[in-house]
Amino acid sequence: MAEDTVTICDNRTGKTVKLPIIHGTEGVPVVDVSTFYKEFGMFTLDPGFRSTAACNSKITFTDGDQGILLYRGYPIDQLARQSTFLEVCYLLMEGDLPSPTQYTQFKEIITHHTMVHEQLLNFYKGYRRDAHPMAIMVGVVGALSAFFHDSLDVFNPRHREISAHRLIAKIPTIAAASYKYSVGQPFVYPDNTLSYTENFLNMLFSVPCEKMRLSPVLVRAMDQILILHADHEQNASTSTVRLAGSSEANPFAAVSAGIGALWGPAHGGANEAVLTMLHQIGSVDNVDVFIKRAKDPDDPFRLMGFGHRVYKNYDPRARILKESAHAVLADVGRADDPLFRLALELERIAQEDEYFIKRKLYPNVDFYSGIIQSAIGIPTNMFTVIFAVARTVGWITQWMEMMTEGPSISRPRQLYIGHPRRDYVPMDAR
Ligand code: SDX
């Protein structure tokens, strides 16, 4: 069968080149432009990478028009309803669902890597108590590179696997400690008798004077939040981890860079921004004013938790979280939670508004996750930390995929629009 190609012609020279079209297993095909500069002496320009695929990947597939999300081929709604976060970690890392023996072995490994070096806990003391927990996460996860560096060869598959196990295991311990530090409570050590998510909630909420009683509904809701946030192909923070890792940098330092990228309100910081926005709106009576502001091109206000670079349909994760919110709020006796009612009304009004319909702006993963986390007892400034706990497996799996293929440093070019060459003017001549 003739190769699919795109023909590009430079009308200044008449040069015509056929560029190959490459089809994946599913989704949008790509045009291979890697020879473009050699053929035409020009770069392609795509700020924000709206039309650019940065890599091949087998891990996660999203179809933004259909609102489809697959982890290693499995639909996110089936995983959210039938799997556990730890099993999804295995699936993302290894590529297939584990057998009972494989799962038991994986669980054993992760469980026995949950503690951190005692010296690492000293890093928290350098922060003010009111430091944003994401600032602590960036610093402490980056500091892990000081504990696992000299003996770590990023080109050794076994070293990469151990680094992934360490990160998946330790990130809840580090995250919970960032919360404990901010509220002036003692750090809680991991409890190996608990499941991954029970252990995380226990480290967050138990205190020396009393063990936390975990509601199975809340544990399940948190586990589902972690599943839903685990990976999402080449989003901004994952692309940051890949780019940092492409220089053969320490994986803990690369993940720390990813945490920094995730923090922004246009990305993972949106869940915190949604709760702030809902409190700002306050009541259904004010929704119209804020919808009007969101539509005003001169007003920087945007409806947080709405819109997505990829999803031009309902984010499949938001659909599951909306269902979970009903169950969690009922479990904590807040079935009529005013913020949830406000969020539902905000979604209903936006979905009927031409501005949002035309631009295909739907609720995304961040719109309902904060309401659930609030009901579980997670403070708003910890929402993005929870996102980072979940996304760590995605980041490190994508890093492993890149390193396994053999990294080549990512180094984009630019269109220079600054001053042409000019000579230095001495101070007394200016
Ligand atoms: C995540 O990439 C991923 O996969 C990310 C993520 C993951 O799992 O890793 O899914 C997690 O980051 C989810 C997104 C969380 N962010 C937010 O909820 C913040 C609010 N959303 C927007 O900032 C925005 O929708 C983005 C950043 C998410 C996407 O922006 P795009 O793709 O650059 O869209 P755009 O700015 O080109 O918007 C197109 C139009 C514009 O209007 P016009 O210029 O056509 O008149 O839609 C408007 C935008 O002004 N628009 C919004 C809007 N989002 C887009 N208007 C009001 N409110 C919004 N939320």
- Pocket lining: 163 vs ligand 1, CB cutoff 6 Å: no
Report which protein residue has its CA nearest ligand 1's atom 52. Answer: 302
Q: Is the pLDDT of residue 110 over 80?
A: yes
Ligand 1 atom showing the smallest separation from residue 231 Cα? 8
Q: Please report the pLDDT score of residue 2 as a whole number.
A: 67
Report which protein residue has its CA nearest ligand 1's atom 40. Answer: 359
- Whether 35 contacts 207, CB under 8 Å: no
Report which protein residue has its CA nearest ligand 1's atom 2. Answer: 235
Distance of alpha carbon 76 from alpha carbon 336, whole angstroms: 28
Report which protein residue has its CA nearest ligand 1's atom 26. Answer: 308
User: What average pLDDT does the segment 271-296 reach?
Assistant: 94
Pick from 381, 391, 400, 401: which is nearest to 85 by CA?
Answer: 391
Substitution site in 291, 295, 359, 365 for ligand 1 pocket (most atoms within 8 Å of beta carbon): 359
- Pocket lining: 272 vs ligand 1, CB cutoff 6 Å: no
Q: Is the pLDDT of residue 41 over 70?
A: yes
* Tokens representing residue 24 in the block: 């994946």
CB-based contacts of 46, cutoff 8 Å, min separation 6: 52
Q: Please report the pLDDT score of residue 214 as a whole number.
A: 83
What pTM did the predictor assign? 0.96
Q: Is the pLDDT of residue 15 over 80?
A: yes
Report which protein residue has its CA nearest ligand 1's atom 7. Answer: 232
DSSP alpha helix (H) spans, 265-382? 270-281, 287-295, 316-331, 338-351, 354-358, 365-376
Catalytic residue among 231, 315, 337, 366, which? 366
- Pocket lining: 363 vs ligand 1, CB cutoff 6 Å: no
Q: Is the pLDDT of residue 179 over 80?
A: yes
Q: Is 308 a catalytic residue?
A: yes
Question: With pLDDT > 90 as the criterion, what percentage of the chain qualifies?
Answer: 96
User: What average pLDDT does the segment 227-244 reach?
Assistant: 98
Classify the phi-psi angles of 95: left when phi > 0, otherwise alpha if psi is within -120 to 50, otherwise beta: left
Report which protein residue has its CA nearest ligand 1's atom 39. Answer: 359
What average pLDDT does the structure give for the chain? Answer: 96
**DSSP of 90-153:** HHHHHSSPPPHHHHHHHHHHHHTT----GGGGGGGGGS-TTS-HHHHHHHHHHHHHHHSSTT--
Catalytic residue among 165, 229, 232, 308, which? 308
Q: Is the pLDDT of residue 1 over 70?
A: no
- Pocket lining: 293 vs ligand 1, CB cutoff 6 Å: no
Residue 79 burial (CB count, 10 A)? 24
Q: Please report the pLDDT score of residue 360 as a whole number.
A: 95
Distance of alpha carbon 267 from alpha carbon 309, whole angstroms: 10
Q: Please report the pLDDT score of residue 213 as a whole number.
A: 87
Q: Which residues pair with 246 in a beta bridge?
A: none
Q: Please report the pLDDT score of residue 347 as a whole number.
A: 94
Q: Is 366 a catalytic residue?
A: yes
Pick from 136, 131, 142: which is nearest to 175 by CA?
Answer: 136
Ligand 1 center–CA 266 separation, angstroms: 7
Q: Please report the pLDDT score of residue 120 as a whole number.
A: 97
Q: Reduced to 3 DSSP states, what percent helix, strand and coil does the chain have, rounded to the nearest 5?
A: 55, 5, 40
Q: Please report the pLDDT score of residue 211 as a whole number.
A: 79
CB-based contacts of 115, cutoff 8 Å, min separation 6: 170, 173, 189, 190
Tens of pLDDT, residues 374-411: 999 999 999 999 999 999 999 999 999 999 998 899 99
Report which protein residue has its CA nearest ligand 1's atom 34. Answer: 309
Q: How far is CA 282 from the centre of its chain?
A: 28
User: What average pLDDT does the segment 233-253 reach?
Assistant: 98
User: What average pLDDT does the segment 115-119 reach?
Assistant: 96
- Pocket lining: 235 vs ligand 1, CB cutoff 6 Å: yes
Ligand 1 atom showing the smallest separation from residue 236 Cα? 2
Substitution site in 52, 62, 92, 267 for ligand 1 pocket (most atoms within 8 Å of beta carbon): 267
Distance of alpha carbon 421 from alpha carbon 430, whole angstroms: 18
Ligand 1 center–CA 316 separation, angstroms: 16
Q: Please report the pLDDT score of residue 149 as a whole number.
A: 83
Q: Please report the pLDDT score of residue 151 as a whole number.
A: 80
Ligand 1 center–CA 160 separation, angstroms: 34
Ligand 1 atom showing the smallest separation from residue 302 Cα? 58
